[in-house]
Structure 1
Amino acid sequence: MDEEKALEVLKPTISAIPNDRVIAITVPVNVLVRETHDTVRCARVDAEALATINYTSEKTDNLEQRAGACQEAESLWLEENHCANNAEEDWAALREQATEAKFDTIHTFKYAYRNVDNVMDAISDIDDGSTHADTLQDISDLVVLGRKHPEPLQAINYDLTKLDDLEKLGVDASNALAIANENRLSGSEAKLLRDKSYTYLKEGLDELRAAGKYLFRKDEKRLKRYQSKYWKKRNDAYKKEASEEPVN
């Protein structure tokens, strides 16, 4: 069964895993998936022996399916994360442009409308906004204000087409923010699915390894098949580093 199909089949079970059961990713996903496939191959060789302690071939097949589902969930998460990063970059760039354009326009308006009290009051209200949402709304308000009272702007040779450019910038920035927010939500959902898939895979692999370690506890060669090469390598490196530390 391919990875996409595996996730489709197991997704209801994976999604039902409670959030408080989700474990931290301590082994890289690709490493855990690879070690699972390696261990599954060993389990198929040892199928008859494992069956004597009720570790069935169905469990082995299910574990392989879990590995495929986890790999697919990881791929989906990486894709979502990449899109989210691009959307965040687009929003950040437009946010900076919008903020700068807002304050430039406010300074211009304050000069142009310095003798028009009711417009100055409106500009002061607009100037009070500080959040990103305020900035986008403020840009829209400035455009409306400028179009409603064009004469003072024309009197200082202000190009009224700048209001069109400002309006477009506000729309573009609003769209970028909406996309970024949508990707944050979908990205968090994809990450949770990946984390739950990882948990489900790790639980299944731990069960097989526990069975293998019990069954072959007196057979060192076969026992190694059910141990994590990743953690053995990490532990060996740690022991080597510790042994090389100078003694005070």
Structure 2
Amino acid sequence: MASFQPTPIQIEDLQAISIESFKRPAMPVSTYLQEANDLYVWSQDDREKLLRFDLSPTIFDELVLGINLLSYYQGEWTKEQGLVNPTVEAFAAKKQEARELQQHVVASLRFAFRRHPSLLQKLSLSVRRTPYSAWYQSLNDLAVLGEAESDLLLSIGFNLDELGVLRQLATELPEWHALASKQVAPSKELRDRAYCYLKKRVDDLRTCGKYVFREDPSRRVGYVSQFMRRKSQAQKRSRSNQDR
């Protein structure tokens, strides 16, 4: 598997896979790969029987290909994550600056408005931190609110220049966000597509195996995700403890 290299045709096939409905893996990718490999090994003894139940005759070869593709692009993406991207780094720095300034401005406004319930209510409505679009608007709204009540801020020694900085950040951050979003590692997208490719084969094989061996627990167990089984058991124990 270490010497695997995707062919141009395999890359084209991956790029044709839609990831509009892509959801993050429910387990670490390394765990998913191990389970997919275990599933392949387990299913070999049942190959002939499984293929009689409307499974694609190429599913086992496709499963191996999916394991190789996902393993390869997961490794490539991991390597790319270690590289510092100046645009992403700059966006992160701007976000940190804005969060710290927002916290400072909100604290100052809250203190300045402490005897004005209606202004405190306006402040409460202006403070948003997620999603990004609402946060950017919140930064601007806070600057506007502060400028409208500048006398109260001046009375507590607040530097009004900080409102200008906040307004500027509200304008700059969406631009930095858009630039940073374009810097997504190309291997990340291919990793997600490879996951979608493999997941379809894993799901098909698991579904078929659980049906075929529904009355044979000793074989059926190999078609059940052990990670998800343990996770489900842990959640049940947690709910049981909460009910006590």
Length-normalised TM-score, structure 2 = 0.58
Distance 2:240 2:91 in 1: 51
Structure 1 or 2, whichever has the larger Rg, is 1
1:87-119 deviations in Å (ceiling 9; x for gaps):
8559989xxxxxxxxxxxxxxxxxxxxxxxxxx
1:213–1:226: 8 Å Cα contact kept in structure 2?
yes
1:209-228 deviations in Å (ceiling 9; x for gaps):
01101111110111110000
State the match for 1:74 in structure 2: 74
RMSD: 3.6
Distance 2:29 2:200 in 1: 14
Q: Does 1:205 align with 2:199?
A: no
Matched letter for residue 11 of structure 1: I
Distance 1:187 1:67 in 2: 23
Q: Does 1:17 align with 2:27?
A: no
Matched letter for residue 77 of structure 2: W
2:50–2:208: 8 Å Cα contact kept in structure 1?
yes
Distance 1:68 1:26 in 2: 19
Distance 2:43 2:56 in 1: 10
Alignment of 1:40-119 (within 5 A): 40-55=40-55, 58-84=58-84
2:19–2:192: 8 Å Cα contact kept in structure 1?
no
1:50–1:212: 8 Å Cα contact kept in structure 2?
yes
Alignment of 1:186-201 (within 5 A): 187-201=184-198
Gaps of 5+ in 1: 94-129, 135-180
Distance 1:81 1:92 in 2: 15
Say which SS state the counterpart of residue 4 (structure 1) adopts. coil
Distance 2:215 2:183 in 1: 49
The verdict on how the C-alpha distance between 1:16 and 1:56 changes in structure 2, with shifts beyond 3 A counting, is: closer
Alignment length (residue pairs): 171
State the match for 2:220 in structure 1: 223
Structure with a larger share of its residues in helix: 1
Gaps of 5+ in 2: 94-167, 173-178
State the match for 1:39 in structure 2: 39
The verdict on how the C-alpha distance between 1:216 and 1:92 changes in structure 2, with shifts beyond 3 A counting, is: closer
Distance 2:69 2:8 in 1: 8
Distance 2:91 2:238 in 1: 45
Distance 2:225 2:58 in 1: 22
2:209–2:220: 8 Å Cα contact kept in structure 1?
yes
Shift in Å at residue 15 of structure 1? 1.0
Distance 1:186 1:31 in 2: 27
Shift in Å at residue 21 of structure 1? 3.9
Shift in Å at residue 74 of structure 1? 0.8
Which runs of 4 or more aligned residues in structure 1 lie more than 4 Å from their structure 2 counterparts after TM superposition?
A: 6-9, 85-93, 183-186
1:178-215 deviations in Å (ceiling 9; x for gaps):
xxx7x974534221111111111111100110110111
Say which SS state the counterpart of residue 82 (structure 2) adopts. helix
1:37-63 deviations in Å (ceiling 9; x for gaps):
000001111112112224356311210
State the match for 1:141 in structure 2: none
The verdict on how the C-alpha distance between 1:7 and 1:186 changes in structure 2, with shifts beyond 3 A counting, is: farther
Shift in Å at residue 231 of structure 1? 0.4
Matched letter for residue 73 of structure 1: Y
2:209–2:223: 8 Å Cα contact kept in structure 1?
yes
The verdict on how the C-alpha distance between 1:86 and 1:46 changes in structure 2, with shifts beyond 3 A counting, is: farther
Distance 2:240 2:221 in 1: 24
Matched letter for residue 199 of structure 1: C
State the match for 1:138 in structure 2: none
1:33–1:71: 8 Å Cα contact kept in structure 2?
yes
